[in-house]
A and B are shown apart, each in its own frame.
Chain A
Amino acid sequence: MTPRALAIAGSELRILRRNRWLFMATLIMVLFALALTFAGSAPTGSLGVDMLTVSVASMTTLSVYLAPLLALMMSFDAISGDRDRGSLSLLLSYPAGRGEILLGKFLSHLAALAFAMTVGFGTAGALAAWSGGAGVDSLLALGRLIATSILLGAVFLALGYGVSSISGSSTAAAGMSAALWLIFVVLYDLGLLGAVVMDEGGVFTQSIFPWLMVANPADAFRVWNIAASETIAVTSGMTGAASALPSWAAPLSLLIWPLIGLGLARVAFGRVEP
């Protein structure tokens, strides 16, 4: 942690606050989390679990889509925006290294994301617990959901910086980010699903598919949250794939991905000639 990275982080955080980004992201998280929690509260009685458990299961599904989206929306113009304005060459002429610049932006964006996630899921979780009860297990699940959502966001922040570095303009970066989101969150799963259907329960489905699934950070996020809590696995009905893997696989994937992403972003940023 260098003073220069902190200076950049402070400035970026101020920008996020001033252009209402922080407020909007938090509002989106709160609204979606609340809506899902109360729309999805019906099965509580039939499954015999408390309402917070159901709420966390719904919010896990939500976060798979929303965390990468919010992260990419923050990071896609982190480099290209500065280049479009002509201030990137100036920034790079200062003693701050490229790694420090990247780290500063990452810290501020991650802090904003963490704030939005904690407030959003926290509010919905608190309301669910208050109206339908909570236990130690479901509270742990909520904490895990918030922490893993932040990790998932970190992955896509880093990937967004990479996209922002290699694209010629912010417009192109926005397009590439949308494609990235679609691939990781939708198309990858569709492809795997198709392969499983074709395979009809063969070797692929038995031994390769779970690993391929957990290699995708979005799926690793899902598997981690589901596998870690039996009650959530019950409510989401997704135990098969998760149980085929050792318990460390999903956490490892989700912990390693932010590092891979930042490494890629650093390499891509290093090649930028402003």
Chain B
Amino acid sequence: MDNSLIIKSVNKFRGKAQVLQDIDLTVAPGERLALLGHNGAGKSTLIKSILGLTPIHGGSISINGAAPGSAAARRDTAFLPEAVSFHPALTGREQLSLFANLSGASADVPALLERVGLADALDRRIGTYSKGMRQRLGLAQVLLGRPKVALLDEPTSGLDPISRQDLYAIIDELAEQGTAVLIASHALTEVEARTDRIAILRKGVKVADNTLAELSSEAALPTRLRITARAGEIEKLAQQVGGTRVNGASVELRCRADQKMNELRRIAALGDVVVDVSMTPPKLEDLYRHFAKENRP
């Protein structure tokens, strides 16, 4: 068994509507998979199916060899729900101790809370926590008991930029200890740098599943070159290189990834007319738009 999480042709209906359609997905130990999609694309439903909280109608899910919802699967899985909150009357320490008792894992609760930056709030009631602090508390319980699979639903929602950096550092740690991490997210720019592989859901169908580099070449989205001319010579430049004028002093070219070097050589040969060239490879946002849009062949 190589993969911690194996999802095979899973279907799910809600009434007559099909909310998940033939989903295949695997996550290997130590791999960080980003699961992207619009609201209602089926991300949360898929996570709930993996947790065994909602039944699937066809296909199979295996968590380290166990069925969703089984005692073994629940022991091996950690979960961070979207925008989670806890009982306001309990303190962070009490809440995390309860989770530790439920998971059956012996845990150093103060150390865990310190790891997520809640050392000062250990014995304060959760009712006094900010949204970001509640999210950190949620993250602390993910770290309990070395899970084989971690499912994080919108983990960065409500976090400030520095907290997000901390969050991804913790996710990296999880991956290093061999946890298969699945992150459902909207925050494309962060996911881009911090995950190994990207899967995109559209209306319950998986439309992409690969590394960022592979997805880029598969989509064949153009790289954008922006060439800035010396003052007053924009007309000349535009005639020589073509492309579209974007403002008073620049033109923009689009080219395929394998044409990029040719274009650059051509521009370099123009000499003094060119004062600056900037190059923008397709971003995850462009890829996401490409794969998630309607009517794609």
Instruction: Please report A residues at the B interface, Cβ cutoff 8 Å.
Output: 3-4, 7-8, 10-11, 14-15, 18-19, 81, 85-87, 89-96, 273-274
Q: Does B203 contact A (CB under 8 A)?
A: no
A-B contact pairs, 22 of them (CB 8 A): A8-B98, A8-B102, A11-B94, A14-B89, A14-B94, A15-B90, A85-B86, A86-B83, A90-B80, A90-B84, A90-B141, A91-B102, A92-B53, A93-B51, A94-B102, A95-B74, A95-B75, A95-B102, A95-B104, A273-B48, A273-B53, A273-B54
List A contacts of B87 (CB < 8 A): 15, 81, 85, 87
Closest Cβ–Cβ distance, residue B125 to chain A (whole Å): 8
Contacting pair A89 B48 (CB below 8 A): yes
Q: Is the CB of B98 within 8 A of A95?
A: no
Give Cα A86 to B80, complex, Å: 10
Contacts of A85 in B (CB 8 A): 84-87
Contact A86:B81 (CB < 8 A) given known A15-B87, A93-B51, A95-B74: yes
- What are the residues of chain B within 8 A of A92 when measuring CB–CB? 51, 53
The distance from the CB of B117 to the nearest CB of chain A, in whole angstroms, is 20
Q: Write the residues of chain B forming the contact surface with A, with a CB cutoff of 8 angstroms.
A: 48, 51, 53-54, 71, 74-75, 77-87, 89-90, 94, 98-99, 101-104, 125, 138, 141
CA distance A274 to B99 in the complex (A): 18
Q: A18-B89, A273-B53 are in contact. Are A87 and B99 (CB under 8 A)?
A: no
Q: Once the chains bind, are B53 and A87 in contact (CB under 8 Å)? A: no
Residue of B nearest to A11 (CB): B98
Chain B residue at smallest Cβ distance from A15: B89
Nearest-neighbor residue (CB-CB) of B70 within chain A: A95
Set of chain A residues within 8 Å of B74, measured between Cβ atoms: 93-95
How many Å lie between the Cα of A97 and that of B178 in the bound state?
27
B84 x A86 contact (CB < 8 A): yes
Q: List, in ascending order, chain A residues with CB within 8 A of B80's CB.
A: 90
CB neighbours of B125 from chain A (8 A):
18
Rounded to whole angstroms, the CA-CA distance of A122 and B101 in the bound complex is 36
CB-based contact A7/B98 at 8 Å = yes
Tell me, rounded to whole Å, the shortest Cβ–Cβ distance linking A137 to chain B: 43
Residue of A8, A91, A96 contacting most chain B CB atoms (<10 Å): A96
A93 adjacent to B53 (CB under 8 Å):
yes
State the CA gap A19–B126 with chains docked (Å).
13
Question: In the complex, what distance in Å separates the CA atom of A96 from the CA atom of B104?
Answer: 10
Contact of B85 among A4, A14, A19, A87 (CB under 8 A): A87
Residues of B near A15 (CB, < 8 A) are: 87, 89-90
- Known pairs A89-B53, A90-B141; list 4 more (Cβ under 8 Å): A4-B104, A11-B90, A19-B89, A87-B81
Return the contact of B103 from the options A11, A89, A95 (Cβ within 8 A).
Answer: A95
Closest to B55 in A: A273
Query: Taking A3-B101, A7-B101 as contacts, is the C-beta distance between A93 and B77 under 8 angstroms?
Result: yes
Determine the distance from Cα of A29 to Cα of B188 in the docked complex, in whole angstroms: 57
Q: CA separation between A81 and B84, bound complex, in Å? A: 13
Contact check, B79 vs A93: say whether CB atoms are below 8 A apart.
yes
Query: How far is it, in angstroms, between the C-alpha of A273 and the C-alpha of B19 when the chains are bound?
Result: 15
* C-alpha spacing A274/B79, complex, angstroms: 13
Contact present for B85 and A86 (CB under 8 Å): yes
Residues in chain B near residue A91, CB distance under 8 A: 102
- Chain B nearest CB: distance from A148 CB in Å? 31
Q: Which residue from chain A places its CB closest to the CB of B75 in the assembled complex?
A: A95
Rounded to whole Å, the gap between the CB of B88 and the closest CB of chain A is 8
Taking A11-B90, A14-B90, A14-B94 as contacts, is the C-beta distance between A89 and B102 under 8 angstroms? no
Is A87 within 8 A of B86, CB to CB?
yes
Nearest first, the 7 closest Cβ-Cβ pairs linking A and B are: A7-B101, A93-B79, A85-B85, A94-B102, A18-B89, A11-B98, A95-B74
Known contacts A7-B98, A11-B94, A19-B89; is A94 also within 8 Å of B103 by CB? yes
State the Cβ distance, A41 to closest chain B Cβ, in Å: 40
Point out the residues of chain B lying under 8 angstroms from A4, CB to CB: 101-102, 104
Closest to A12 in B: B87
**A149 to B99 CA separation, bound complex (whole angstroms):** 33
Q: In the complex, A19→B77 CA distance in Å?
A: 32
Q: How far is the CA of A91 from the CA of B99 in the complex (A)?
A: 8
Task: Looking at the assembled complex, report how far the CB atom of A73 sits from the nearest CB atom of chain B, in whole angstroms.
Answer: 16
A11-B94, A89-B79 given; A96·B51 CB < 8 A: no
Across the interface, name the chain A residue whose C-beta is closest to B151. A93
Q: How far is the CB of B42 from chain A (nearest CB, A)?
A: 15
